[in-house]
Amino acid sequence: MNQPDLTLESLAARVLNLTTVLTTALQERNSPQPSFSQDAPDFLSPAPEVQGPRLQLIETLTKMLHLATGPTEYLLHQCLLPNADGLIVDFLNRFDIWHLVPLNGSASYADIATAIQLPEVTETPGSDRIIHSAASAYVARDAARSAFIGHCMEDVRPAAAVGVDALQKFYLGLKEHSEEQEHCPTYLASDRGKVRGTSYWEFAETYEEPGKPKGYRAERFALAMKALSQTQLTAQVLDKFDWESLGDATVVDVGGSTGHISLLLAKAHPRLKMIVQDFPEVETSFNEAIASSEYASRISFHAYNFFEPQTLTANAYLFKSIFHDWSDKYVVQILRNLLPVLKSGVHIIIFDNIIPPDHDEHGKPVVPLPTRRLLGAVDLQMFVNHNSKERKASDWTEVVKRADSRFELMGFYTVVGSPMGIVDVVFNT
């Protein structure tokens, strides 16, 4: 479609306007301005008045980049640069370069080469000292952030590389999308020359590597999810549900890992009692994460596999980032496993990605390009790891009703700047 208004000059004017709006919104909230220094803010203010122009600015700058690059060079870059960028991030991750450069200090190329036992192959003119940028310091300050990078580079990247192979092997000739977990690229991926041949979850629990404990990838995944929750305006999305309406209530955090979401809820809502459910082997990590919290008395752990019938009675059941790991047939099974303990009026709170419509009734995009790209990337990652998907509101309605007609969709709640949302479901007899 021809878009004559998208010129370098028109986009530059829009960039200037959005920059003014964004910086003014930050100033009005006494929020720090973004910078490249290592003490730059990790996140900009979650206020919609900040997130709205921020996302529009990123979209406009992306369009300018495409225009300035041109189709020939753009396609060349798309073929070359992602592979190189991925290789570099994988190198930084595998050799833990983040922690070889001290915060508020520096390290030489020679020091780093010695530490990782690799040769120096070039000598850079000028300073040979490396300091942290805002991005690398962000990773170095929190183990959960480096865990997320490790998960993406070591768990997902090898499987993504055989994504098209999986389509050719498992999908050619099919009339409908397969819901079987073993039809995902993870089954074809290789690590150190050995084909996985298992689901992602089994691979993460059983994979062995010299010098590392068995199951370290599963522990890293749990830690990575903590980091991911820091980038999704998690508290703001949680606040979209009226937790106070539950009164003195028990909330079961199904698949809640080490309890980082339960901690947020316990802190914000003193009348809630939280029970985190996960596999028995998670309990030690849960206890370590909760032990020092002043809210520990209201958060407990219960060993549970959500593919078995639920045994705990509660006022609400929370599923944070659980269902996007599973195709519809498995989501239906997980929801049906709640039925033995459900009473009329109990809430099932699904905290997951909600893909918005592509366009409104006027043909305009509903959400900015950065959010659409992020959701698309996560959707592909779910296919790569689990043969699952992200869901639109209509998809959520369909899978919930498929589980049981007594499940009633009460609403969908989202915030500007986050792909995550709340799907509120109530069980009515």
Catalytic residues: 324
DSSP classification of residue 415:
-
Residue 264 contacts residue 230 (beta carbons within 8 Å): no
The CA distance from 324 to 377, in Å, is 13
DSSP classification of residue 212:
B
Q: Is 4 helix (H, G, I), strand (E, B) or coil?
A: coil
Residue 262 contacts residue 273 (beta carbons within 8 Å): no
**Conformation bin of residue 387: beta by default, left when phi > 0, alpha when psi is -120 to 50:** left
Residue 242 contacts residue 265 (beta carbons within 8 Å): no
Residue 313 contacts residue 247 (beta carbons within 8 Å): no
Backbone φ and ψ of 125, nearest 5°? -60, 150
Task: Collect contacts of 131-136 with beta carbons under 8 A, ≥24 apart.
Answer: 131/38, 131/101, 131/105, 131/106, 132/38, 132/101, 132/103, 133/36, 133/37, 133/38, 134/34, 134/35, 134/36, 134/37, 134/38, 134/39, 134/40, 136/38, 136/92, 136/97, 136/98, 136/101
Task: Give the containing element (helix H, strand E) for 319.
Answer: strand 316-320
Q: Could you tell me which residues come within 8 angstroms of residue 154 by beta carbon, excluding any fewer than 6 positions away?
A: 90, 93, 94, 191, 217
Q: Could you tell me which residues come within 8 angstroms of residue 205 by beta carbon, excluding any fewer than 6 positions away?
A: 215, 217, 218
The CA distance from 390 to 114, in Å, is 44
Residue 396 contacts residue 421 (beta carbons within 8 Å): no
CA angle 272, 273, 277 (to 5 degrees): 125
Backbone φ and ψ of 2, nearest 5°? -75, 135
Q: Is 106 helix (H, G, I), strand (E, B) or coil?
A: coil
Q: Could you tell me which residues come within 8 angstroms of residue 67 by beta carbon, excluding any fewer than 6 positions away?
A: 6, 7, 8, 11
The CA distance from 35 to 269, in Å, is 35
